Amino acid sequence: MSLKVYNTLHRKKELFEPIEKGKVRMYVCGPTVYNYISIGNSRPIVVFNMVRNYLQFSGYKVEYIQNITDVEDKIIKKADEEKVDYKVITTRYIKAFLEDVKNLEVGGFNKMPLATEMIAEIIDIIKKIIENGYGYVVDGNVYFEVSKFPAYGKLSGQNISEMKDTEDNSFEKRNKIDFALWKKAKEGEPFWDSPWGRGRPGWHIECSAMSTTLLDRNIDIHGGGIDLIFPHHENEIAQSEAAFPGEGDFVRYWMHNGMIEVKSGKMSKSLGLKKNWILKNLLKSYSPDTIKMYILSTHYRSPLEFSMEKLEEAEKALEKITNTLKNIKFLIEQKEGLSDGETGGKADMQVISRLGTFARKFEVNFKNSMDDDFNSARAIGDIFEFIKNINNIIQKPDFKNNASLKKSLSGAYIKIKELGLVLGLNFIKEVSRISEDIETRIEMTKEEIEKLITEREAARKNKDYKKADEIRNYLYSMGIILEDRKEGTLWELKDNRDEK
Ligand SMILES: [Zn+2]
């Protein structure tokens, strides 16, 4: 199967064929930096990170650009409220955004241009729009004349003739649906010199300027949330195609993610929901993997409900995977049963061949799911199917480990990790993230924990069950859960949610 992408422009899934063979140029609208980003703002970042990863996994070289809007009405309003220069606001929230992206372990943008760094390019494209007859100047403001661009509405399905009627006499625009390309600076506002006087760019124009300049007018994928289809992306099409007429569609595939929604009224009643709506806060309670698991467990175009229950579900689901990986790792590292002869070859060959079949099936299914418009929800289901098949083998009472089996298990382990990473999931909860945290969270070092476990094992061997229980209870009170297995004792931290 080959990759199919749902193209908002044609409202259907289409075979993906980039403009240049083997290369994909991708532009995604980024945040306006006047506040901390929400979980809602995080969805496109997680989704398009997965899209980029899968394109790379499929052999494409990907150039991925995401802009940052650092001059805009909301920023100026916030600066006024705080009585500071707008740059104080943008510096603060750009820093916060970069931290969020890093903590969420997504991103890896090839370029992250700021609007204020592209003013020359923005002025250039506005000039072209005016020269080509699509823009007009009124007293230092420049507007796009929508009625001159008959294709307006092709992305969003809006009907201009219905919109045109609403004349706005209080305003200087020729028609209400005309939109600003350049805004004259008011007293105290940030400004740049331009052929039309001092002013600043309108919001929509920066994306046209950046995407056409930085991707050489060969844009394969342009993405963002569905809330950007109208007017933002509709206006981007009008601007870009008006500036460069006769070049065909400005973008080949328009991709839009659905919104994250809170059930009506719930947000105002729940303090937890309100607090956790901000990504920075959410990351204090949940691992980046959990947040990504929550987002990717629903197809990117579908609406996604925001609730603590959904996050708990994602965390539990993730645990099933990380636990299985931990069990596999335990078997791979197990010292006993090294020689194949010990367990008799014939039955093992069957187990190994079954594992191989499951692994191949897993990879084929995963690719088919992702080829179907990046269906990460189904791809996660494919991981679970594989995990279930592995558990059916390794949890059997008569299961015996040996060297050949370890090799197969090792292959399965690597495959799960590899395809997990395509989605942006690390599956490393037990391994590094938590052990890094141990000292601050439970005031015990890993060595101390392991020393107590050894003492407990000695006590059990001596049939001193009272002492063994005391150690178990003590560790439990410190937030550590023990799991006795025939191969030895495993430990892990109590769930995050017990702490809250
Ligand atoms: Zn944009």
Residue-range domains of the chain with CATH = 4-134+201-271 (3.40.50.620), 321-427 (1.10.730), 430-498 (no CATH)
Tell the residue number behind the tokens 């892990």, with chain if given: 492
- Write the CB contacts of 110 (distance below 8 Å, at least 6 apart in sequence): 63, 64, 65
Measure 79 CA to ligand 1 centroid, in angstroms: 22
Measure 66 CA to ligand 1 centroid, in angstroms: 9
Distance CA 144, CA 342 (A): 79
Q: What is the pLDDT of residue 217?
A: 94
Measure 70 CA to ligand 1 centroid, in angstroms: 12
Measure 209 CA to ligand 1 centroid, in angstroms: 10
Model pTM score: 0.84
Tell the residue number behind the tokens 């650009």, with chain if given: 65
Measure 7 CA to ligand 1 centroid, in angstroms: 17
Tell the residue number behind the tokens 């178990």, with chain if given: 472
Measure 424 CA to ligand 1 centroid, in angstroms: 24
Counting other chains too, the contacts that 487-491 makes at CB distance below 8 Å and 24 or more residues apart are: 487/330, 487/334, 487/336, 488/457, 489/453, 489/456, 489/457, 490/326, 490/330, 491/449, 491/450, 491/453
Residues with C-beta atoms within 5 A of ion ligand 1: 29, 207
Distance CA 196, CA 181 (A): 11
Buried-exposed string 84-95: b where 16+ CB fall within 10 A, e elsewhere: eebeebbebbbe
Among 26, 23, 42, residue whose Cα is nearest residue 282:
42
Q: Which residues of the chain have pLDDT under 70?
A: 163-170, 336-347, 429-443, 486-487, 494-500
Measure 29 CA to ligand 1 centroid, in angstroms: 4
Q: What is the pLDDT of residue 488?
A: 75
CB-side neighbour CA atoms (13 Å) of 332: 14
* Rounded percentage of the chain residues whose pLDDT exceeds 90: 72
Measure 235 CA to ligand 1 centroid, in angstroms: 10
Measure 207 CA to ligand 1 centroid, in angstroms: 5
The tokens for 15 are: 């075979």
Q: What is the pLDDT of residue 97?
A: 97
Measure 443 CA to ligand 1 centroid, in angstroms: 46
The total number of residues shown for the chain amounts to 500
Measure 291 CA to ligand 1 centroid, in angstroms: 24
Q: What is the pLDDT of residue 255?
A: 98
Measure 125 CA to ligand 1 centroid, in angstroms: 15
Measure 75 CA to ligand 1 centroid, in angstroms: 16
AA letter at 375? N
Distance CA 90, CA 68 (A): 10
Distance CA 154, CA 272 (A): 41
